[in-house]
């Protein structure tokens, strides 16, 4: 076994002494750089870091880190620690918060806009604005905010606040500034991981994203999954697209997908893809209630579409109709595509039958059609038997039921 080489002070060249960081070496920085690689979550790192700073004698009573995110719902997130907290508080902020007066006039925005430092002695404020009022009322004496510079110009913010009489000591400021570059590196790694996960969950769904992140990235990789499958399609979308302005069509389509999708996700289904004006979702059968969950999602989606149509009765938006085909069976779940462009999806005869049932809704004028195989497993009661139909591409007829 090769023994590590011991570095003696006399062996260090003059070049090694020309750097400017850190101003003071500390065990906190050593820990942050060398001992956090196994910690996945930023909030846990921030709590441990703040505890270690306090143990090292830094007069720190509150810390927050503010990230601007790439997320379809959230503009940003804040991780907050206060002295005595064993877990950080994570708060997300929706799009539009960046235009609120409270944010626009905040030191956080000042740093986002380019300030290198915002340092405020709260004890010295006779008149203070709304942002600092709560801090002063809680006994804090000094507030400082600095930028954290990530790659590609991404700028985030770290704040530190103390209750020490007289504010931070100069040694406290040096210690906090020394920690900041290391904290910046550590948080960037985690935010990149979060970004990758968020992007994958946004575009392929949570289960598929987990598989991709776990290494299922080669063409043909995947597994066989037993699932209840539903395919939903909006009726008359071509006519709507031709007759309505583009922005109205997009808004309408998003409202339709919200109505259909939210119940699916709420009841444990996974939307694998949106296909123009349609979607493909599965409910894996490893959950005993999968079929009942799918039916409940359809019912709630139907109620949401009805509410949307009621709101559009004044003619401001067109009436929406849709068709749903439901079947059950084993499907291949994995990567399909060309050598360089893959799609994580499901294929198989069960998917084809669900698709043919959705198409059949146009002919029989019933919006939700179920196969005999699904009905038998789900134990459906509120259904009507429509008969057996020879679906396109199948050799044998399929017994079809309509959900009331």
Least confident residue range of 75-89, 113-127, 295-309, 373-387:
113-127
**Is residue 226, in this structure, part of any structural domain at all?**
yes
Q: Which of 203, 228, 254 is the last residue of a domain?
A: 203
Distance of CA 120 to the CA centre of its chain: 34
**Is residue 13, in this structure, part of any structural domain at all?**
no
Residue 298's CATH number: 3.30.70.1230
Q: Which of 176, 203, 230 is the last residue of a domain?
A: 203
Regarding whether 373 and 231 lie in a shared domain, the answer is yes
- Across 129-133, 171-175, 345-349, which has the greatest mean pLDDT? 171-175
Instruction: Write down the residue that tokens 């068709």 correspond to.
Output: 323
> Which carries the bigger pLDDT value, residue 159 or residue 393?
159
**Is residue 218, in this structure, part of any structural domain at all?**
yes
Regarding whether 278 and 151 lie in a shared domain, the answer is no
Gap between the Cα atoms of 268 and 1, Å rounded: 52
Regarding whether 210 and 151 lie in a shared domain, the answer is no
**Is residue 141, in this structure, part of any structural domain at all?**
yes
- In tens, the pLDDT along 180-237 reads 999 999 999 888 777 777 777 777 777 777 777 777 778 877 778 899 999 999 988 8
- Distances 42 to 38, 64, 111, 143, 179 between C-alpha atoms, Å: 11, 12, 21, 22, 15
Regarding whether 178 and 63 lie in a shared domain, the answer is yes
| Residue 261 pLDDT exceeds 90 | yes
**pLDDT of amino acid 343:** 79
Q: Please state, rounded to an integer, the average pLDDT across all residues of the chain.
A: 88
Regarding whether 211 and 198 lie in a shared domain, the answer is no
Regarding whether 384 and 275 lie in a shared domain, the answer is yes
| Residue 371 pLDDT exceeds 90 | yes
Mean pLDDT, residues 337-359: 88
Gap between the Cα atoms of 174 and 176, Å rounded: 6
**Is residue 368, in this structure, part of any structural domain at all?**
yes
- In tens, the pLDDT along 136-147 reads 889 999 999 999
Bridge partners (DSSP) of residue 262 are none
- In tens, the pLDDT along 3-56 reads 555 555 555 555 556 777 788 888 999 999 999 999 888 889 999 999 999 999
Bridge partners (DSSP) of residue 160 are 63, 144
Regarding whether 216 and 105 lie in a shared domain, the answer is no
Regarding whether 399 and 269 lie in a shared domain, the answer is yes
**Is residue 183, in this structure, part of any structural domain at all?**
yes
Residues in the chain: 404
Q: Which of 185, 203, 221 is the last residue of a domain?
A: 203
| Residue 100 pLDDT exceeds 80 | yes
**Is residue 12, in this structure, part of any structural domain at all?**
no
The values of phi and psi at residue 242, to 5°, are -75, -30
Start-to-end CA span in the chain (Å): 73
- In tens, the pLDDT along 156-194 reads 999 999 999 999 999 999 999 999 999 999 999 888 777
Q: How many domains does the structure of the chain reveal?
A: 2
Helix, strand, coil percentages, rounded to 5, for the chain: 45, 25, 30
Regarding whether 210 and 154 lie in a shared domain, the answer is no
Gap between the Cα atoms of 103 and 89, Å rounded: 19
Regarding whether 191 and 74 lie in a shared domain, the answer is yes
Residue 63's CATH number: 3.30.450.40
| Residue 2 pLDDT exceeds 60 | no
Gap between the Cα atoms of 36 and 47, Å rounded: 12
Regarding whether 308 and 179 lie in a shared domain, the answer is no
| Residue 1 pLDDT exceeds 50 | no
Regarding whether 267 and 361 lie in a shared domain, the answer is yes
Bridge partners (DSSP) of residue 92 are 77
- Distances 158 to 270, 335, 352 between C-alpha atoms, Å: 36, 40, 52
**Is residue 14, in this structure, part of any structural domain at all?**
no
Task: Quote the domain boundaries for residue 358.
Answer: 205-403
The four Cα atoms 194, 197, 199, 200 give a dihedral, to 10 degrees, of: 180
Mean pLDDT, residues 104-112: 92
pTM as predicted: 0.67
């Amino acid at each position: 076994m090769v023994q590590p080489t011991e570095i003696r002070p006399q062996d260090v060249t003059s070049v090694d002494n020309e750097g400017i960081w850190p101003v003071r070496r500390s065990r906190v920085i050593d820990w942050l750089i060398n001992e956090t690689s196994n910690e996945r979550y930023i909030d846990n790192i921030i709590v441990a870091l703040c505890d270690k700073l306090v143990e090292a004698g830094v007069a720190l009573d509150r810390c927050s880190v503010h990230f601007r995110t790439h997320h379809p719902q959230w503009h940003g997130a804040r991780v907050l620690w206060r002295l005595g907290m064993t877990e950080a508080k994570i708060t997300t902020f929706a799009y539009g918060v960046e235009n609120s007066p409270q944010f626009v006039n905040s030191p956080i925005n000042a740093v986002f806009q380019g300030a290198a430092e915002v340092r405020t002695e709260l004890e010295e404020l006779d008149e203070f604005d709304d942002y600092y009022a709560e801090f002063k009322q809680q006994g804090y004496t000094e507030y400082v905010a600095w930028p954290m510079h990530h790659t590609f110009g991404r700028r985030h913010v770290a704040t530190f606040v103390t209750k020490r009489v007289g504010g931070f000591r100069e040694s406290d400021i040096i210690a906090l500034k020394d920690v900041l570059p290391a904290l910046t590196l550590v948080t960037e790694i985690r935010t990149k991981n979060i970004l990758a996960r968020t992007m994958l969950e946004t575009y392929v769904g949570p289960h598929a994203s987990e598989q991709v992140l776990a290494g299922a990235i080669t063409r043909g990789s995947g597994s066989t999954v037993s699932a209840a499958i539903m395919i939903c399609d909006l009726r008359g979308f071509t006519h709507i697209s031709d007759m309505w302005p583009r922005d109205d069509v997009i808004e309408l389509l998003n409202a339709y997908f919200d109505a259909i999708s939210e119940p699916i996700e709420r009841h444990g289904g996974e939307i694998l893809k949106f296909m123009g004006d349609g979607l493909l979702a599965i409910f894996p059968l490893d959950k005993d209630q999968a079929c009942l969950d799918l039916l409940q999602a359809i019912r709630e989606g139907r109620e949401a579409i009805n509410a949307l149509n009621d709101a559009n009765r004044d003619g401001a938006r067109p009436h929406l109709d849709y068709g749903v085909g439901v079947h059950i069976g084993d499907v291949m779940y994995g990567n399909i595509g060309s050598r360089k462009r893959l799609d994580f999806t499901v294929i198989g005869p069960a998917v084809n039958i669900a698709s043919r049932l959705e198409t059949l809704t146009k002919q029989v004028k019933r919006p939700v059609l179920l196969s005999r195989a699904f009905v038998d497993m789900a134990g459906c009661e509120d259904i009507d038997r429509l008969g057996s139909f020879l679906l396109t591409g199948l050799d044998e007829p399929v017994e079809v039921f309509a959900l009331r």
